Structure 1
């Protein structure tokens, strides 16, 4: 890619590699989750790369995301799972998207929207996350209603699924409890006469850490993009001839200014950092409006001219400052916020630790005035 003022660089071969590696490791079909604009990697490009890596399904949160995939040319199986009353289920059904229901009221909306066409429906049950999904006391009746609608030809129940709360902590007792509850739900679905195509419970962490919970399909979100969903706990997927997960995203900006400051001079709002010696500062022209966490001030690092440089003072809306010491640098030099780490730059996981969050948030929130581009073997530097 030709570098602009600030760029997000997405390596599509890394997504293909990660999906293929994870599919081989899991031993069951995979759904790559591309919600939230592909975790910041780009909905359609990430989805296409995942398909090429072997993803049978793509998963999104909203109907709009599902329709955007269809508009971009995706024709494979797509599941969406987060709607509010009155949303356009008809558009999703017409676009051959599998929709998720949590309740009898939502099922009724889907049936009404189908208008004579058999809607593909998956039922999500709440097994202990206490977020989306049918509460346990409603499972039996919801499955019975689904079976009635399926016999009438108004829907086809293609899946039953749920979501772990603590899969990144493999010894947490909630994991066993949720899997047992999910098995109960599957038994109730079968008793109602349902035979779904896919039963799925595992997200990225469970797909790596809990083989017994893989069922017919695993949903791979963060791991598809090369980031560890359970830092320090996930298995090493590398072999003698093949690398492990490859981070697909890098974020880089060009220094806007380089200036010398004297000992005793303070930096940025609130003067939270004061130079204890003469030093050189570099101005990085991105800030919290671009998804750089404000609380990275005085904690994070970037790579400039092959060396880690600490962030000094508070991150501002449009910019932040790094300490270059006595090293030479010039306006226009690249400052890598994060990337693969192979060249010494920080990783998204390191930024997450500096900011007391998770890498999911780092990659999905970065954006704003960054220009995003996708790098592939055949098209080096397609920008958007």
Structure 2
């Protein structure tokens, strides 16, 4: 069969033009998180290939690793990123051509300035990095608090005069909670821009509005006449912008284009009023099993764990209702049809994805973004890991020693240093299920280990068989592969253990971790993330973790999930965003760079807890880790084998 997901890149261009024609401001398309699941490189290439007078001003990504990947693919448009790691290689970031960097703190500003190249003992002004100062105007995530704006801007002005940076923009983001709350954020943003100009900065671009705000509020793109200046500021001249080039100063309001680029309306069930074309089409094979019909897609492919009364059409136009969504297959209940061969999940109409979102009690953003990249027709055979030193810490640590000990039949041992480990489970299958990229563990690495123990391989869907063949792995198509073929991963009935150290089948052979990339003290009443669904009831400390539903944390965990920061259990607060979540650190002594354990291992939540919070099956928890999550392998040296 062809790839289940087909991407219409012509529709990308159409939707960009439709939005650009509707707003009186330059448009910055957002292609972060693999372009909301549509393929970051392919979407960026489609936009960059437009005629020169129609191309976007720049493209937006979340972090420098995403920017690096686009540059490596030949994308020449300016890029902007805004999520920085505590371990970021700032000199490597500076080397990415024409990269604008969102800066949220004095710490980030200092690190970027210290990495400025020096020639003959003097700062190379021609290599000054373009900076956009990111202001927290009320969203409670990354960005400088208002009480920090003056000192951040004053320091940025000093560094600009030294030629280490150039302040090219001021940016923020709205919550979309209500017209009153959005207006309050606009007022705060305008105060920030006015302060920057008063201090002496001359940002070219200012941007607050994304898709919805740009369409709903005309004043979100209005430049205040009071911001204009007749003279060129001294800092601008020092940065190489002379009065002869810019006799007067007036900033440009830009807007960021997100979901509508991909043919989806963020106001559903209301409407933006744009002529949008669907971009992602999802079709799948349907097979008969016993007395049921099942389609070969499930939670491990990115489908939500539950939907309510969702209707789909087959290739003959007959209607079917989606029943249970399992890890790799979903049941279908016939309403009109009797023998489908292919099911159309979404794609022919913009409302299709909205129907999934409504049935799953989520947003259309999450449906497309969590669809796994291995299903796309524009996906590479091998997903490249993020460029080292440029991505925030998003790490899936995989215990190959534990997996190999299980593959040895429960009695084999591998060395971790000088300590041998054994396992008690003696009922492992002679085959390994490598569906869904070995359920996120990495099919090529698991297959290499399996061959050492004489194992053969199966996959439960045809599209997984074909994906494995593309990387040289011969797997038998076996839709009914039993749970014994997956015990090596730790998906057994005892999956509650979070690092028990016993080596039993219930211990997950992997753990997910991240880091704090920003820490801020806030007062009671501080709201967090979209919709202001959480507000601090007391003065507290908030921490930003660079993991979102594009990576590992579905929106369904809102209000329930906990993680561990430096060993302390803390709640995730506010709605889960595409690239980040906020944790309430209380009065604990926390700092940027502290480790965050999400699930698994000795310090994370148990797999059983995470399944209860998210509604996902154990296999789907690991299988739906996004491409920005780095796989880190421990051990794997097999004793006694040639």
* C-alpha separation in 2, matches of 1:156 and 1:285: 52
CA deviations 1:7-44 (Å, max 9, x no partner) are: 11110010000111111111211100000000001001
Which one of 168, 172, 187 corresponds to residue 158 of structure 1?
Answer: 168
Partner of 2:106: 104
TM-score by length of 1: 0.83
Partner of 1:338: 346
CA deviations 1:36-73 (Å, max 9, x no partner) are: 00000100111122332632110000111000010010
**CA shift in 2, pair 1:302/1:114, >3 Å:** farther
* C-alpha separation in 2, matches of 1:326 and 1:230: 32
2:11 matches 1:49: no
* C-alpha separation in 2, matches of 1:326 and 1:236: 34
Show the 5 A alignment for 1:179-190: 179-190=186-197
- Structure 1 residue runs without a partner (length 5+): 238-243, 262-280, 375-382
Show the 5 A alignment for 1:197-216: 197-215=204-222, 216=253
Show the 5 A alignment for 1:321-336: 321-325=331-335, 327-330=337-340, 333-336=341-344
Partner of 1:378: none
Contact conserved, 1:287 with 1:318, CA < 8 A, in 2?
A: yes
Partner of 1:218: 255
| SS of structure 2 residue aligned to 1:294 | coil
Give how far 1:259 is off: 5.2
Contact conserved, 2:321 with 2:335, CA < 8 A, in 1?
A: no
2:28 matches 1:26: no
* C-alpha separation in 2, matches of 1:254 and 1:336: 9
Contact conserved, 1:282 with 1:321, CA < 8 A, in 2?
A: yes
Partner of 1:147: 157
Partner of 1:85: 86
* C-alpha separation in 2, matches of 1:135 and 1:289: 39
| SS of structure 1 residue aligned to 2:378 | strand
Which one of 343, 351, 360 corresponds to residue 365 of structure 2?
Answer: 360
Contact conserved, 2:58 with 2:78, CA < 8 A, in 1?
A: yes
* C-alpha separation in 2, matches of 1:72 and 1:292: 29
| SS of structure 2 residue aligned to 1:347 | helix
| SS of structure 2 residue aligned to 1:27 | coil
* C-alpha separation in 2, matches of 1:286 and 1:235: 31
* C-alpha separation in 2, matches of 1:189 and 1:326: 63
* C-alpha separation in 2, matches of 1:259 and 1:64: 44
Give how far 1:372 is off: 3.0
**CA shift in 2, pair 1:335/1:157, >3 Å:** same
* C-alpha separation in 2, matches of 1:30 and 1:325: 45
* C-alpha separation in 2, matches of 1:328 and 1:340: 22
CA deviations 1:346-367 (Å, max 9, x no partner) are: 6111111000100000000011
**CA shift in 2, pair 1:212/1:191, >3 Å:** same
Name whichever of 93-102 and 194-203 sits farther off.
Answer: 93-102
2:318 matches 1:310: no
Contact conserved, 1:120 with 1:156, CA < 8 A, in 2?
A: yes
TM-score by length of 2: 0.51
* C-alpha separation in 2, matches of 1:43 and 1:369: 13
Contact conserved, 1:26 with 1:208, CA < 8 A, in 2?
A: yes
Query: Which structure has the higher relative contact order (CA within 8 Å, separation 6+)?
Result: 1
Partner of 1:286: 297
Contact conserved, 1:62 with 1:83, CA < 8 A, in 2?
A: yes
Partner of 1:258: 288
Name whichever of 113-122 and 132-141 sits farther off.
Answer: 113-122
Contact conserved, 2:39 with 2:373, CA < 8 A, in 1?
A: no
CA RMSD of aligned residues (A): 2.0
Give how far 1:326 is off: 6.2
Give aligned pairs, total.
337
